Structure 1
């Protein structure tokens, strides 16, 4: 089922909670959501979209019990989960690709994923690895922190609030899409607006003037790549795909499906509201009406849409 409803603005909001892990239960189920104001059936983890942030520390063992509670016959009802970017040394059985490393989990059954991260830290993500199921919603960020991070002196804040997900969103169900469908919406932290749709809520990232933030930018996209930027702000790239990087000053990285960046941004502008932009390559590439956008809001700023403009000169192109 897929339809637009005014109720979606209120009753079917995107649900997000605190991070979980390294030991947790992940219940995969179906709900109707409208992250962009268009209501459709989805696949979620613990009732959340995007799926909850999973965190751990370098050296941890992750114990993740995945329960298949899928019931919607219009979508795939079996599943498996891949932990994208983790090496799985000695635990290839826990890597997740269905029909390759494991049989998919069937409804009313569960599977225990157990793996260690002895020598990795950084920004990762996880997603369904059964057909195109992750495009229906089963996708979320995963962060492995390093207590001895050699770049820790470069930032002040690195927590749940500084993880930013970028994703494309489809009004077609993955099981019913004709050929390769065009995405309808850019979602930033699970929220967005589509062309011709309602003025749905946009994601807001709150900052305090003078503070340095490590933004962990995660593309949980199915297909779309984005040019990411925040008006009037620059970034220092310090990590790419789980590997530390010598700081590189930019104002706009291009990010493809599955890629991750750690971007250090100093909140050094006047107190106010600034547009966060994710220009897509295959969705309506306008920012009019808040499309492809979110909001960076300084502490004590008025709650309002930004009026800022974009001027880029240091794009990091792939």
Structure 2
């Protein structure tokens, strides 16, 4: 079984500030050559790779202009975006599932998603909702802050630097993997797992690990999002326990744990107190591919 890793280092931090109102976002969906684990392949990115980070405040209305310039014939070229975890109250047309709530956005076209977030707050993400397209990279994160969050006394820092994405990554385009799955019934196994967009695979180069910088004595709200298509992870931080305070956009009574399992599409917020001796601490996220086939014999991330 392989693992994803990151380290926590002790450095100064910066204050993040957002303002309520209408939020306008340009989100180009493009093909790009990426190599997050050292293996170069054509992929799809939503804004950037591993994905744009959209920020809103409680009560905001989002206006997200998605422009489709996809052209790679090895992948789906039409697209749609689903805002995962958000209730679309009277705005079902903006929910994103292709051929259900909307027609796909054709190459060379655009669509502006317009919807209020209402009283919803917390940690969310977005992804393509056309076939298996998001496994090729079309995904990102969305955080809705509450300026009057009743739990805000529990942490000192909660900003873009404390958002963590976990993703499975494939070296073969998703359409080919789907054809393989239909032919032999074996679930495609990821080549690697990505922590904040970087990872390693067996036999690949030693890509530098992601680093999350913290200041000794500060408390950090880490927002962990599993943006995978298939994989689950077990999240822990060496030498630390932490309090789970949010599950899938819902605030919870703080629960102290040393680790937790996070499945595809799930989100957790945890408060980590940087109260241990200053040094680097591994963040460990070993991957589990439940029910994976015999193809695991050639992969680095299977049980």
Q: CA deviation at 1:23?
A: 1.2
> 1:22 touches 1:54 (CA, 8 Å); kept in 2?
no
Structure 1 residue 274 corresponds to structure 2 residue 281? yes
For residue 204 of structure 2, the aligned residue among 193, 197, 203 is 197
Structure 2: distance between partners of 1:93 and 1:45: 20
1:23 aligned onto 2:30: no
Q: TM-score, normalised by structure 1?
A: 0.82
DSSP 3-state at the match of 2:93: helix
Q: In the alignment, what sits opposite 1:99?
A: 99
2:88 alignment counterpart: 88
Aligned partner of 2:126 in structure 1 is 126
Moved more, 275-284 or 161-170: 275-284
Partner of 1:137: 137
* Distance in 2 of aligned mates of 1:25 and 1:58: 20
Alignment CA distance shift 1:19-1:210 (3 Å): closer
1:177-196 correspondence runs (5 A): 177=177, 178-179=180-181, 180-196=187-203
* Residues 211-247 of structure 1: CA deviation (Å, up to 9, x unaligned): 0000000010100001001111111011100000000
| Alpha-carbon distance in 2 for matches of 1:196, 1:56 | 41
Show structure 1 runs of 4+ deviating over 4 A: 18-21
Give the alignment's Cα RMSD to 1 decimal: 1.8
The CA deviation at 1:19 is 11
Alpha-carbon distance in structure 2 between the residues aligned to 1:124 and 1:109: 26
1:250 aligns with 2:250: no
The aligned residue for residue 215 of structure 1 is 222
Q: What is aligned with 2:42?
A: 41
The answer as to whether partners of 1:19 and 1:52 remain within 8 angstroms in 2 is no
How far residue 201 of structure 1 moved from its aligned partner, in angstroms, is 1.7
Alignment partners' CA distance in 2, 1:147 and 1:244? 14
Counterpart of 2:234 (choices 227, 233, 236) is: 227
The Cα of 1:282 is off from its aligned counterpart by 2.3
Q: Distance in 1 between matches of 2:61 and 2:273?
A: 33
In 1, the alpha carbon distance for the partners of 2:78 and 2:93 equals 17
- Aligned match of 2:56: 56
Q: Report SS of the residue matched to 1:176.
A: helix
Q: Which secondary structure does the structure 1 equivalent of 2:271 belong to?
A: strand
Tell me if structure 2 keeps the 8 A contact 1:128–1:139.
yes
Give CA deviations for 1:176-213 in whole Å, capped at 9, x if unaligned: 11213101111000001011111012111001100000
How far does residue 253 in structure 1 lie from its aligned partner after superposition?
Answer: 1.1
Structure 1 counterpart of 2:268: 261
User: Take 2:237 and 2:209, find their aligned partners in 1: how far apart are those partners?
Assistant: 14
What residue number does 2:162 align with? 162
- 1:95-137 CA-to-partner distances (Å, cap 9, x unmatched) read 0000000010001100110001111100000000001110000
Measure how far apart 1:22 and its partner are: 2.8
The yes-or-no answer on 1:148 pairing with 2:148 is yes
State the secondary structure of the residue aligned to 1:195.
coil
Secondary structure of the residue aligned to 1:238 is strand
Distance in 2 (alpha carbons) for counterparts of 1:19 and 1:167: 27
SS in 2 for 1:175: helix
